[in-house]
Amino acid sequence: MRIGIDLGGTKIEGLALRDDGTEAVRQRVATPRDYDGTLAALTQVVDDIESTVGEGATVGLCIPGAIDAASGLVRNANSLWLNGKPFREDLATHLGRPVRVTNDANAFALSEASDGGGAGAEVVFGVILGTGVGGGLVVRGEVVDGANRIAGEWGHVPLPWPRDDERPGPPCYCGRSGCIETFLSGPSFAADHERHTGHALSTREIVAHAEAGDTDAQATMDRYVDRLGRGLGQLVTLLDPDVIVLGGGMSNLPGLAESAAEALAPWVFSDRVVTRVVQNVHGDSSGVRGAAWLWPVSTP
């Protein structure tokens, strides 16, 4: 049995998975706003799950940040009280067993590579299109973290082949301008529509207007697909994955996976593109499932 935990800014979600990927039990609690409280809450979640499935499960965790390769400390976490802390080691001490930790984008990719949209593929790239833009790379069932723990962070490379009206691009919180995230995140989608039309609409409203025949809204949709195609085309040329799995709120745009597959092909350095672009299977559960899959099936 393996336990996966998704540590979010507002909630902690845990589940136990059997070796065949079926769910044994799930639990959700509020995330405390301090470090010691978070460790205690995570320990309690594991204890409560094991009271149902039995003791001795492996534990994997995904967090909104990363473990620094050199120091072992958390960095870039939205849950600020984790930053600068030896979180993995402290949690392992609380639980009395080793703990595997990855970021939430990696967990999404691993979940979808294990038994989701990328199941059976050798190289899977998981794309997060949400409030931000992130990604994770899984090769032969293993998450690729990279030497700097930033593998898959395609949201912070420049939008490729920018058009004149896309230069220098919107400012990004990372300190640069024109990052892919500033064009493909949910807020960026809405901001792009407002820049071109002067009308502030939500993503759902833009989609609804486009479906009703609004040409301005459809133009916003078309720009988004074109930019996604360029970004993914560059990604395919660099990594050549078998499958790209789309996740995050923007992945729910009607027909986005099919449109993106068509839009990326002209930008790939190949006259034949066989990479599949698919919608995720596990949705909001991918993070917690991927955390559980950090331990392979062969682990006792």
Identify whether 81 is part of a domain.
yes
Average pLDDT value for residue range 73-93:
93
The CA distance from 215 to 219, in Å, is 6
Mean pLDDT (the chain) is 95
Identify whether 84 is part of a domain.
yes
Same domain membership, residue 135 and residue 71: no
pLDDT in tens, 9-55: 889 999 999 989 999 999 999 999 999 999 999 999 999 999 999 99
**Is pLDDT above 70 for 5?**
yes
pLDDT in tens, 141-189: 999 999 888 999 999 999 999 999 999 999 999 999 999 999 999 999 9
Per-residue model confidence (pLDDT) at position 298: 53
Task: Please name the residue ranges forming H helices in the chain.
Answer: 35-53, 87-95, 104-115, 181-184, 186-197, 203-211, 215-239, 256-264, 286-292
The distance of Cα 218 from the centroid of its chain, to the nearest Å, equals: 27
Per-residue model confidence (pLDDT) at position 300: 41
Identify whether 202 is part of a domain.
yes
Residue with the bigger pLDDT between 235 and 9: it is 235
Give the dihedral of Cα atoms 60, 61, 66, 72; nearest 10 deg: -60
Q: What is the pTM of this model?
A: 0.92
The CA distance from 109 to 287, in Å, is 8
Domain enclosing residue 274, as ranges: 120-280
Q: What's the order of all strands across the beta sheet hosting 243-247?
A: 142-143, 133-139, 123-129, 243-247, 276-279
Same domain membership, residue 256 and residue 157: yes
Per-residue model confidence (pLDDT) at position 195: 96
Task: Report CA Rg, the chain.
Answer: 20
Residue pointed to by tokens 């620094």 = 68
Identify whether 297 is part of a domain.
no
The CA distance from 134 to 248, in Å, is 9
The neighbour count for residue 228, using CB atoms within 10 Å, is 26
Same domain membership, residue 129 and residue 276: yes
pLDDT band for position 297 (50/70/90)? low
Per-residue model confidence (pLDDT) at position 45: 97
Per-residue model confidence (pLDDT) at position 160: 98
Per-residue model confidence (pLDDT) at position 299: 42
Same domain membership, residue 161 and residue 97: no
**Contact between 266 and 245 (Cβ < 8 Å):** no
Same domain membership, residue 11 and residue 89: yes
Identify whether 298 is part of a domain.
no
Same domain membership, residue 148 and residue 33: no
**Contact between 231 and 127 (Cβ < 8 Å):** no
Identify whether 113 is part of a domain.
no
DSSP class per residue in 92-118:
HHHHTS-EEEEEHHHHHHHHHHHHSTT
Average pLDDT value for residue range 70-96:
93
Q: How many domains does one find in the chain?
A: 2
